[in-house]
Amino acid sequence: MAANQYVGIGFSSLSDSYSAGKEAARTAISKTGGRTRALIVFAAMSFDHRELLAGITSVTGEIPLVGGTTAGEISHEGFSTGTVVIMAFGHEDLEFVTGIGHNMSEDESACSVQMVNDILGKTPFDPDASLMVFPNGMGGDGLKVLEGLQLLLGRDFEITGGYLGDDERFENTFQYYNGKVYRDTIVGLMVIDPQKKYRRGIGVRSGFTSIGNSLVCTSSEGNVLKEFEHTSALELYKEFLGEERASRLPGICLEYPFGIIDHSPSDRGDNLFQLRCGLSVDHEHGTITLAASIPEGSEVTLTTASRGDIINGAREAAEQAKKSLGGAEPEAIVMFSCVGRKLVLGRRIQEEVGAVRECFGTQAPIIGFYTYGEIGPVDKTRKEWLPAKFHNETVVLWVLGKR
């Protein structure tokens, strides 16, 4: 991989945690010529996380750092497991500010407010900045996290991110912040461009399409979906799936997520949707627990996608991000893809990362991970779709480019 003057990627598959952290950090730092200003770190659950970060900070010292654990890592090596990947930013004309909020599972919104206040306590508010967030993937309702962020930053503020994972154990995730390991927090990185020298491209696509009529959610409580059209949500879902597929609940939810229809405020008629994936079902009460809430009154459709559709969705996200870069040269790509996509893709998983790299050129530095939920605007080039949304089963790309 060609050296990039401003962005370095480090990768290690060593099993010893300290050595892996040290190796990945050394590589990333060396590619920025030692000018690193901020680090993003994603790693497998299998590491001893304190040792991993000790290895990293033995090289990086006090350089601000955010990240956490995953359900699979993404880098120039493609998709990997049991590895640590690091992105080092060496831009002297950008400002990088980190923040943390605690006790996410107690109050997701208050936690995200605390994280934003932590950042804004260190730098003045810039409405043109970009925030990347990494919440505890088992911390509750993803929609409430966004509500807290947008309460302080405004609805149109640029927010992307991914909910951290734990190698599909679905028990507990770890967050990394300035050299330490945390649980049940949200960590964030604000990227500020004072001289407006850069552009940021964002791509958000899934490849999933609607397979049926729309239904209105008539009862939900938090992220527990109770009724569509005053009928048990689970019973209607089973009816859609048919007996054979319904026998594979809740696993089948990954293949048939719900789509909240986002009606275009314009008359162009090109409605999009945010996907919601079922995590568990309660047969006794007829409810489905989701990764984030579906508000009452929302219009919802059932969706599905083939493996080819999913890979094509990643390609579409890359094309969308490239278009919104407006010709700027990509210097860094951060990729968030849902663990549900990984499970459906199976042996074809490398093709998803490959589709993104192909679009931007294989020399463009890339890092990312498989998530328990994604955050990003549906289409940043259009005012009506600028506010960030919570997604499942989706690829979100954040691309930094120099004008």
Confidence of residue 338 (pLDDT cuts 50, 70, 90): very high
The kind and range of the H/E element at 101 are strand 95-101
Residues in CB range of 333: below 8 A, 6 or more apart: 321, 356, 360, 364, 365, 366, 367, 368, 397, 398, 399
pLDDT tens digits along 152-205: 999 999 999 999 999 998 899 999 999 999 999 999 999 999 999 999 999 999
What's the pLDDT at 268? Answer: 52
Mean pLDDT calculated for residue range 56-81: 97
- How many CB atoms are closer than 10 A to CB 48? 15
Six-digit token string for 351: 């093709």
CA-based nearest residue to 307, from 361, 254, 251, 377: 254
What's the pLDDT at 271? Answer: 66
267: pLDDT strictly greater than 60: no
CATH fold, domain 209-304, is Thrombin, subunit H (2.40.10)
What's the pLDDT at 3? Answer: 42
pLDDT tens digits along 358-385: 999 999 999 999 999 999 999 898 888 8
CB 226 within 8 A of CB 246: no
CA 107 to CA 320: how far, in whole Å? 34
pTM of the predicted model as reported, rounded to 2 decimal places: 0.94
5: pLDDT strictly greater than 80: no
CA 91 to CA 187: how far, in whole Å? 21
Categorise residue 267: left if φ over 0, alpha if ψ from -120 to 50, beta otherwise. Answer: alpha
CA 291 to CA 141: how far, in whole Å? 6
- Residues in the chain, how many? 403
The kind and range of the H/E element at 215 are strand 215-221
Domains in the chain: boundaries? 7-205+309-402, 209-304
What's the pLDDT at 142? Answer: 86
Question: What percent of the chain lies above the pLDDT cut of 90?
Answer: 87
Query: Tokens 């999913």 identify what position?
Result: 310
CA-based nearest residue to 293, from 220, 396, 395: 220
Residues in CB range of 262: below 8 A, 6 or more apart: 271, 272, 273, 274, 378, 385, 389
What's the pLDDT at 1? Answer: 34
CB 55 within 8 A of CB 41: no
